[in-house]
Chains A and B, each alone.
Chain A
Amino acid sequence: MQRHIISVNSITYAIKGRDLLRKQGFRAYIERKTNANGNAGCGYVIIANGNKNKIINALLEAGINIVDVNTVV
């Protein structure tokens, strides 16, 4: 199953996104951002498993601003 590392603006949006995805049946949790795109720390990512489009659409529909998405298999 694909694993998506979704970078968001803030801890508030990370928690909102995590809770939303869990309610929709996705496995999701939060981690501190680790040196993504050369920007050291100070950010949060939602890590979620499942269909990328469904996950992204769910977050965007809830008004969550996605900074970037990295998918690992």
Chain B
Amino acid sequence: MIYFDNAATSGKKPQTVINSVNYALKNLSANPGRSGHFASQIAATEVYKVRQKVSDFFGSNGAESVVFTYNCTISINMVLKGILKNGDHIIISDMEHNAVTRPLNKMKIDYTMANVSLVDDKQTVENFKNAIRPNTKMVFCTAASNVLGKILPLDEIGKFCKQKGLLFGVDAAQGAGLIPINMKKMNIDFLCIAAHKGLYCPMGLGILIARTPINNTIIEGGTGTNSIEQNQPDYLPEKLESGTLNLPAIYSLKAGINFVENKMNCILKHENALVKQLYDLLKKENVIFYTNPYNFGYVPVICFNVDDLQSEKVAEFLNKSGFALRAGLHCAPTAHKKIGTLQYGAVRFSPSIFNTDKEVYMLVKAIKKLKNL
């Protein structure tokens, strides 16, 4: 199976990440922050080192601002439900994942979807600015669309959020590890991350980095300290970290960040080259693409459809031919509405650093075969 579904999760992990998970399972099997014995203290110290590494990598305030969660969706829920209340207004983009829109709908929070221009970042920023109302409390947007690959101008959005006194939250599920994100420089208050995508860790680990306090919690429970107190602690990270942590995944995060830290540009360049290769070869075959990878500011994600075939049928054919790609709406119906594919979805191609141009040629050959059936 040739895996091109890395926007869902990185299919192949670096050996250093695998080694770290193994090491943690063998040597760090004590509960961090729950006991006083040396094994627990060693485990807690390793978790702390990873918090520091994450904070440094994403330009945050320090280890205590880094909260480990179960996945990026939980992190986003923690931000939205922890900050917003009835009467607040929030601005999101028109490419958000259901992880953002569903909590807002459940909470009955009033939101405006700002249109993201696929070619003009200045226009995008203007659209966000124009959506501000007197009761706007926050801007929350994706770092890069999981459907269209478009990177949002976080720098500029952060700048105006600071000027207007708005909180700024970012869903970096698709951006973390691929594009540089510095919370201080970009004025980001809350950064939500899926460790298993661009940071190459196992599934079951999300990250929430909070440079600003979060008022309310959505999960309460044991934190390993001050057990006699029946209210949730009011300090990070423990306030948002009830229950036992996923230590093997957390320990491997250090290796994941080390893997991307010094070659982020190379990773992006390689993966975007594969996207362009697919685009060039299939354009000739009249395959429909919804974005142009030669435009500025895209992560390596591109959607296409083949003739009038349903996207799920195309993905099914490709699966049987040995290729893993995801079809449908990718949990982001607003992005599909934007490109007119809400009814039948599209097939998403998302390569990783481990894919090769030969594999792309093989995929193209399979799609040509489908077209000729």
Interface residues of A (CB under 8 A from B): 9-13, 15-16, 19, 30-32, 39-44, 63, 65
Contact = CB atoms under 8 A, between A and B. Distances in A.
A43 B35 CA distance: 9
Interface string B224-255: 11111000010101100000000000000000
B88 interface: no
Contacts of B48: 11-12, 15-16, 19
B228 A11 contact: no
Nearest to A65: B235
Given A15-B48, A63-B62, A10 B36 contact: no
Contacts of B32: 11
A15 B44 CA distance: 8
A12 B51 contact: yes
B33 interface: yes
B64 A13 contact: yes
A16 B41 contact: no
Interface in B18-44: 32-33, 35-36, 41, 44
Query: What 9 A-B pairs come out closest when comparing CB atoms?
Result: A32-B36, A42-B227, A11-B33, A15-B48, A11-B44, A10-B238, A10-B225, A43-B225, A12-B64
Nearest to B37: A32
A42 B228 contact: yes
A39 B35 contact: no
B64 A43 contact: no
B45 A15 contact: yes
Contact of B224 (A16, A31, A42, A65): A42
Which of A11, A30, A43, A63 counts the most B-chain CB atoms under 10 A from its CB? A11
28 contacts: A9-B225, A9-B226, A9-B235, A10-B223, A10-B224, A10-B233, A10-B237, A10-B238, A11-B33, A11-B48, A11-B224, A12-B48, A12-B51, A12-B63, A12-B64, A13-B64, A15-B44, A15-B63, A16-B48, A16-B63, A16-B64, A32-B36, A39-B228, A42-B224, A42-B225, A42-B227, A43-B225, A63-B64
Contacts of B233: 9-10
